[in-house]
Amino acid sequence: MKFSKLIKPFFLLIFFSQISLNSYCQEGIVNVSQDSKFEQLLNEKRKINSSITITDRYKIQIFNGDSENSKKQLMSFKKDFSNIDCTIVFSTPLYKVWVGNFKSRIEAERNLLEIKKKFPKAFLVKPNK
């Protein structure tokens, strides 16, 4: 008897809570508006990221330091070696200037000898993913 007195209010509570949940549920439509420049920036970032390949290739690091000096070294390298690609990579807390994208170590070392004439602190790296 005591058990039946508790069951009836319990089922009523569950029933009314379900009704109230259904009445508060809403179907909404979300409309996102964004500036067209945002999409342009995303496309630029995708293009830059796709040009940076790190897998199983050798690179030559010619400089590491702050952002401004890295940019200067990059420009200097581009003037002297326009046929070799180069990029700036940020690795906390320094910026690194990596040049080349060599398939073999021999090819990288040949280029390293030539690059060391202009950038004596240059050395060979094989970055990981």
Helical spans, DSSP H, in 1-129: 2-24, 36-51, 67-80, 105-118
In this prediction, residue 115 has a pLDDT band, given cuts at 50, 70 and 90, of: very high
pLDDT tens-digit map of 25-51 = 566 778 888 888 888 888 888 777 766
- pTM of the predicted structure, to 2 decimals: 0.57
Top-level class of domain 53-125: alpha beta
Domain residue extents for the chain: 53-125
pLDDT tens-digit map of 62-100 = 999 999 999 999 999 999 998 999 999 988 889 999 999
Phi, psi (rounded to 5 degrees) for 55:
-80, 125
